[in-house]
Structure 1
Amino acid sequence: MIDSAKMRRDCAADFYSHYEYLCALQDSVPLPAVRSCLREGVLDFNADRLRSVDWAPLLGTLKINKDLPLVSIKSFFQPWLAETGSDRSKVCRSRVPAIRNKDMSFQLCKALKCCLSTSNALKNLELNGLVLRERDLTILTKGLNKSTALVHLSLANCPIGDGGLEIICQGIKNSITLKTVNFTGCNLTWQGGNHMAKILKYQTMRRHEETWAESLRYRRPDLDCMAGLRRITLNCNTLIGDFGARAFAESLSEDLWLRGKF
């Protein structure tokens, strides 16, 4: 049996070699933060540390990636810390990470869409703290629709709001591989709770249909192999409130498959 850690490292080496090549084309060098995480066979980095010029070779490589099992991109920038005076604000605005630029976030989502559409290896996608606008989420959803491997999706601390969640739901409701989603701290209200409740009801109906079809063939349905979400994480969305919780409770009353909701 091939060692899984070795396989990840080999795949990361392929990613790194192409990334290094694209860096050389623009007369730059690979970023240490990217190089170090690729040694572990994954792409996991703090996006705040990348300048605009750093993104092009990375996104060009990510766009054609078919090997990495995990892509995790984080941002911890807090713009409100700069709102104490005009001079200080000017200084801090000059230090706003490139990833906070709307064109850069769109280019990132375009690259992720291509990666999701073609990769049979990408099982975990984690975007933490990124500002994702409607057009970003729309293009990302196209990739989610086409993914045949994604198991875990996290948009933790991305302030997508109810409208953004509704867009994402269109990309995940028919997924046959996705098992867990994390929408912690996404600025959701009871309307976002309703969007998730509708997804649960839709998937429950499809599972019942599949169970019924299997019973007609005198087979015992394999509940563990059925498509649909198993875990939903909604921490730090206090505005979901009682109304949103009630919608969840109603959708869960007939769901025999969902194992965890936090």
Structure 2
Amino acid sequence: MIGSVATRKKNSPKFHAYYEDLCELHNVMPLRMITSQKQKDILDICADRIKYDELFPITKALACDRSLCFIAIRSRCQVKYVHHNFYGKRRSNVRHRPLIHTDFGMNVVINALKKCLMRTTVLTHLILEGLYFTKNNLSLLCTGLSNCSSIQNISFHQSIIGDDGCQLICDAVKKLRNVHSLNISACDIGQSGGYCISQLLKYQQLERYSETWKDALRYRIVDVDRMPGIRRVSINNNPHLGDAGLMYLVECLKDDLWLKAIDLQNCGITNQGAQEILKLLKVNTILTVVDIRKNHDVNGDLLNAIKKQLAENSSRNVEDTQEKWIITDFPSGYLLRLKDLGS
């Protein structure tokens, strides 16, 4: 039996309850991968299997939601462009392409996400994995993101955003005080993206220095570890970053007292870049992890010297250990460590 309008209105801020109401209203079978998460206040879906009729209840419920603390939309189908010719249910021209990788599908999902981000006060994790973003879609998403004060951990792992998209994300995130970690691994980021990330970190540095100065003037004890802001940046598998992009980050981090970990696996770093990292670690003793594994042009002896210096840095930080920050797997290992970031 279809619920009343009053019931649906009452359920609208609660994703799972409203989703089931909408499925019943539109005569669509609720997806098991969504209903199985009902008791957890999370939405973690692989969007590749979602059909046209199944998309509306999901996005409508998402747009009205104020209950989810974790949202993950993933795609395992890697594409390098979105299909712009999609006409409703007539999908013969995109038969072998998931709906999420069409212009229509992404527009519907991103619009719903934007509305959710602007409404919610409880969402802490946003994971968008393996998606292709146009500039317009990403701009729309970043508008919602910049208004979400509760967000703590953001991941665009394996999503195609490029340097322009990196700039949009960094501009949206820089004023969000509660964000602890940003994962833009395998996002086709190059030298310009490295500059954008450095500007994000510099902006937060200035904000933190301002707060430190205010506390000092009031004769308060300044605890830098409890100040808000980004603690981890993951830029793995962006081989176009190179030494040139790395240098922007190195220069920025020489004066940084807050960032604990930066992941740079397979980022096109050579011995020259590794030497700069080693010099950085002798100046910045706060950094506990600088992960440059899988950069095959880095000499083994130089890599061991960096590990040794990191171990020394870690030993000076009583409350921090390398094990707390090291990540061995992406993205699942990334999520397993998120609870540590707020400590």
TM-score of Structure 1 vs Structure 2, range by shorter chain: 0.7 to 0.9
Counterpart CA distance in 2 for 1:18 and 1:41 is 13
Q: Against the structure 1 CA distance between its residues 91 and 29, is the aligned structure 2 distance closer, same or farther, given a 3 Å change threshold?
A: closer
Say if 1:42 and 1:71, in contact at 8 Å, map to a contact too.
yes
Matched residues in 1 for 2:48 and 2:260: separation?
A: 35
Name 2:137's counterpart in structure 1: 136
For residue 91 of structure 1, report the CA deviation from its aligned partner: 8.5
| Aligned CA distance change for structure 1 residues 38 and 254 (closer, same or farther; 3 Å) | same
Three-state SS of the structure 1 residue aligned to 2:138 is: helix
- 8 Å CA contact 1:106–1:135 kept in 2: the answer is no
The 8 Å contact of residues 37 and 45 in structure 1, kept in 2 or not, is answered as: no
Q: Which amino acid aligns with 2:253?
A: L
Distance 2:79 2:208 in 1: 44
**Partner of 1:249 in structure 2?**
250
Matched to 2:123, the amino acid is L
Query: What is the CA deviation profile of residues 185-237 of structure 1, one whole-angstrom value per residue up to 9, with x for unaligned ones?
Result: 00000110000011111111111111011111111123233222110000000
Separation in structure 2 between the aligned mates of residue 151 and residue 216 of structure 1, nearest angstrom: 29
Q: CA RMSD in A?
A: 1.9
From the superposition, tell whether residues 261 and 92 of structure 1 become closer, same or farther in structure 2 (CA, over 3 Å): farther
Query: Take 1:55 and 1:96, find their aligned partners in 2: how far apart are those partners?
Result: 15
| Alpha-carbon separation, structure 1, partners of 2:27 and 2:41 | 25
Structure 1 residue 103 displacement after superposition: 2.2
Provide the secondary structure at the position in 2 that maps to 1:214: helix
Instruction: Note the 1:35-50 alignment, pairs <5 A.
Output: 35-50=35-50
- d(CA) in 2 for partners of 1:96 and 1:178? 34
1:236 counterpart residue number:
237
Q: CA deviation at 1:132?
A: 1.2
**C-alpha distance in 2, partners of 1:93/1:136?**
20
Residue 27 of structure 1 pairs with residue 31 of structure 2: no
Unmatched runs of 5 consecutive residues or more in structure 2? 1-10, 81-90, 264-343
In 1: Cα distance, 2:234 partner to 2:78 partner: 23
Distance 1:47 1:231 in 2: 27
- Secondary structure of the residue aligned to 1:60 is helix
In 2: Cα distance, 1:79 partner to 1:172 partner: 26
Aligned to 1:259: 260
Q: Deviations over 1:125-176 (max 9, x none)?
A: 0000011111111111111111121000000000100001111111101001
Q: What does residue 224 of structure 2 align with?
A: 223
Whole-Å separation in 1 of the counterparts to 2:140 and 2:92: 33
TM-score when normalising by structure 2 = 0.67
Aligned pairs for 1:121-200 (under 5 A) are 121-200=122-201
> Secondary structure, in 3 states, of the residue corresponding to 1:44?
strand
Distance 2:192 2:77 in 1: 27
Paired residue for 2:100?
A: 99
Q: Which residue of 1 aligns with 2:339?
A: none
- What SS class does the counterpart of residue 153 from structure 1 fall into? strand
Which shifted more, 221-230 or 209-218? 221-230
* Larger CA deviation: 247-256 vs 215-224: 215-224
Say which one has the larger Rg.
2
Task: Give the structure-1-normalised TM-score.
Answer: 0.88
Give identity over the alignment, percent: 32
More relative contact order in 1 or in 2 (CA 8 Å, sep 6+)? 1
Q: Return the alpha-carbon distance in structure 2 between the equivalents of residues 45 and 256 of structure 1.
A: 37
Distance 2:230 2:14 in 1: 32
Could you tell me how far apart the structure 1 residues matched to 2:56 and 2:186 are?
29
Which residue number corresponds to residue 7 of structure 1?
none
Corresponding residue number in structure 1 for 2:320: none
Count of residues in correspondence between the two structures: 242
SS at match of 1:45: strand
